[in-house]
Structure 1
Amino acid sequence: MSMYFGLMFFCGVWVFCSSRKHLLIVLLSLEFIVLIIYIIFYYYLFIVFSELFVVAVFLTFSVCEGALGLSILVSMIRSFGNDYLYSYSMLQC
Structure 2
Amino acid sequence: MLIKFIFLVMYLIGLVVFCMMCKHFLMMLLSLEFIMMSLLLGLFFMLLNFNYEMYFLMIFMIMVVSEGVLGLSILVSIIRTHGNDYFQSFNMLW
**Could you state the TM-score of these two structures normalised by the residue count of structure 2?**
0.91
Give per-residue Cα distances to partners, 1:16-41, cap 9 Å, x unaligned: 01112110000000000000000111
> Alignment identity in percent?
40
- Structure 2 distance, partners of 1:66, 1:15, is 17
Instruction: Show the counterpart of 2:82.
Output: 80
Structure 1 residue runs without a partner (length 5+): none
Which ranges of 4 or more aligned residues in structure 1 deviate by more than 3 Å?
Answer: none
Equivalences for residues 1-93 of structure 1 within 5 A: 1-89=3-91, 92-93=93-94
CA RMSD of aligned residues (A): 1.2
Deviation at 1:76, TM superposition (A): 0.3
Structure 2 residue runs without a partner (length 5+): none
Q: Of Structure 1 and Structure 2, which has the larger fraction of its residues in helix?
A: 1
Deviation at 1:54, TM superposition (A): 0.6
The one-letter amino acid of 2:20's match is S
SS at match of 1:50: coil
The one-letter amino acid of 2:33's match is E
- Structure 1 distance, partners of 2:48, 2:69, is 27
- Structure 2 distance, partners of 1:37, 1:72, is 23
